């Protein structure tokens, strides 16, 4: 057994030298485990874990804020991965009940995503697996530096309602890294509901819309939705409207750096040149 410090819980967690049975209650951490090469060690997932699609074969143990205790006990994991923020209360409850919970911090920059790869690898007892993945993702980030013509950009994510990014979000810094200037409400840290009066004052040159997972939407539909909210003036100068495949900006696992964000940058570039 190993004793692994978990700063977000304020204590150390006893874990096997080699973790074999993992329950992940966060899509980003499920992504970490898979991309580290240990898909076969996942025995349970959250209802929101859907990427890659093969993950959906695993039993659903819970959501962000609740678990099905009978399923959790049946799976008998030797590591439960969770994130900080909204999951912390549930994580502490499970830890008090003696479950092997490890809490990983929410990243505030793209480099925080890389750090979380290392944190997950350490918790698993597989630190050697982190180096090649982090190196590959670092190369992807380096290749994206200044990739886009400087323009201001508004980002909206559908999380059951409109949510936008702030300075404390990895998405904010990722967009700045490629040359864009995110428009954000004053005084917001990471994620917030955009105030209507603020939205009426901005004039984005690029609009990025991130639907819920698998909810395919086209740019015309998204534009009509914004116009129905009284934002017709946004489109007087024909801004580039880019709609993701869903759950791209909202995903903070290594897939975001390796595939999701580079593809988004490519699509913005193509739209700007059209």
pLDDT in tens, 56-101: 999 999 998 899 999 999 999 999 999 999 999 999 999 999 999 9
pLDDT higher than threshold 60 for residue 19:
yes
CA dihedral over 65, 71, 74, 79, signed as positive or negative: negative
- State the pTM of this model: 0.95
Q: What is the mean pLDDT of the chain?
A: 95
Nearest to 199 by CA among 180, 218, 186: 186
Question: What distances in angstroms separate CA 40 from CA 79, 137, 189, 254, one per listed residue?
Answer: 14, 22, 37, 18
pLDDT higher than threshold 60 for residue 210:
yes
CATH 3.40.50.1980, the chain: domain bounds: 2-140, 145-273
Mean pLDDT of 15-21: 96
Q: What is the pLDDT of residue 53?
A: 82
- Bridge partners for 11 per DSSP: 6
Supply 44's token pair: 């349970």
pLDDT in tens, 222-261: 999 999 999 999 999 999 999 999 999 999 999 999 999 9
Question: At the topology level of CATH, where does 145-273 sit?
Answer: Rossmann fold (3.40.50)
Q: What's the CATH class of domain 2-140?
A: alpha beta
Which residue intervals of the chain are DSSP H helices?
27-35, 69-75, 88-96, 110-124, 130-144, 170-177, 196-199, 219-228, 254-255, 261-273
Nearest to 191 by CA among 160, 158, 211, 168: 168
Mean pLDDT of 122-141: 98
Q: What is the pLDDT of residue 274?
A: 56
């Amino acid at each position: 057994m190993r004793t692994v410090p978990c700063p977000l819980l304020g204590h150390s967690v006893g874990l096997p030298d080699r973790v074999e049975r993992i329950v992940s209650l966060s899509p980003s951490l499920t992504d970490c485990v898979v991309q580290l090469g240990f898909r076969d060690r996942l025995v349970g997932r959250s209802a929101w874990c859907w990427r890659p699609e093969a993950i959906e074969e695993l039993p659903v143990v819970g959501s962000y804020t609740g678990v099905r205790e009978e399923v959790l006990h049946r799976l008998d994991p030797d590591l439960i991965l969770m994130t900080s923020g909204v999951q912390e209360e549930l994580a502490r409850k499970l830890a008090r009940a003696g479950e092997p919970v490890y809490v990983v911090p929410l990243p505030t920059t793209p480099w925080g995503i890389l750090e979380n790869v290392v944190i997950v690898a350490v918790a698993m007892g597989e630190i050697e697996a982190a180096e090649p993945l982090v190196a590959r993702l670092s190369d992807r980030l380096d290749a994206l530096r200044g990739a886009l013509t400087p323009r201001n950009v508004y980002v909206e994510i559908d999380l059951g309602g409109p949510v936008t990014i702030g300075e404390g979000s990895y998405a904010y810094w990722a967009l700045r890294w490629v040359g864009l200037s995110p428009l954000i409400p004053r005084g917001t840290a990471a994620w917030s509901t955009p105030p209507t009066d603020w939205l009426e004052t901005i004039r984005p040159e690029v609009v990025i819309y991130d639907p819920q997972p698998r909810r395919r939407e086209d740019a015309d539909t998204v534009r009509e939705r914004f116009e129905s909210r009284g934002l017709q003036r946004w489109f007087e100068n024909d801004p580039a409207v880019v709609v993701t495949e869903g759950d791209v900006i909202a995903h903070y696992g290594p897939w975001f750096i390796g595939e999701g964000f580079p593809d988004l940058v490519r699509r913005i570039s193509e739209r700007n040149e059209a």
